[in-house]
Amino acid sequence: MNDQGRIAGDFSSPQTIEIIGITYRQLDYWTRTGLVVSTAQQAVGSGSRRRYSYNDLLELKLIKRLLDEGIALQRVREVFDYLRDELGEDVASADLVINGNQSLLVRTDEQILDALRQGQGALYLRMEGLVEEVDAAVRELPIEEASPTEASPTRTGISAAQTGS
């Protein structure tokens, strides 16, 4: 883990699909349409493969959670535009409350209560919970053999020192 307590490394598409619990078609569509970017390595031309960073995994997990909660994909895109404008790349630095067409970032219990009081049907997403889910799924991945183009073999891009093994 890095100094923020998060797992470092990059992840292949098959690993990403397994970690997040989505299909390849979903991952490919969300990436091709710009909802998420494979920041560790973008596909450039035939035969190249995307690799996703840990922050990409957090974004993908949040997208899946929002869709699972019944939020339409177009609304998810709007939420992510808001998140990126407000937080930049660190989507896990604040919790999210969605109330109708309004998205709010909250950092304190008081802000959470104020946001939830504004209306019925508000959805509160605790980002720490998403981080924990992603971390647990990463730890459960099987060891992946390094391809000849990759550097030294690591467990899903995570060295033994980072996992405490």
Domain with 106 in it: 10-163
At 70, list the tokens.
């019944």
Does residue 2 lie within any of the structural domains?
no
- Does 138 map to a domain? yes
pLDDT at residue 89 in the model: 65
Q: Is 15 inside a domain boundary?
A: yes
Q: Is residue 4 part of a domain?
A: no
> Is residue 160 predicted with pLDDT exceeding 50?
no
pLDDT average, residue stretch 17-24: 96
CATH number where 24 lies: 1.10.1660.10
What mean pLDDT value characterizes the chain? 76
Q: Which one has a higher pLDDT value, 113 or 13?
A: 13
- pLDDT of 44 > 60? The answer is no
The answer as to whether 45 is a domain residue is: yes
Residue 137 is assigned to a structural domain of this protein: yes
Residue 85: its pLDDT value, please?
Answer: 84
Please, which residues have CB within 8 angstroms of residue 54's CB and are 6 or more apart in sequence?
A: 6, 7, 8, 9, 10, 11, 134
pLDDT at 128: 86
* In-domain check, residue 1: no
How confident is the model over 114-142, as a mean pLDDT? 82
**Structural domains of the chain, count:** 1
**CB of 141 closer than 8 Å to CB of 87:** no
Decide if 3 is inside a domain.
no
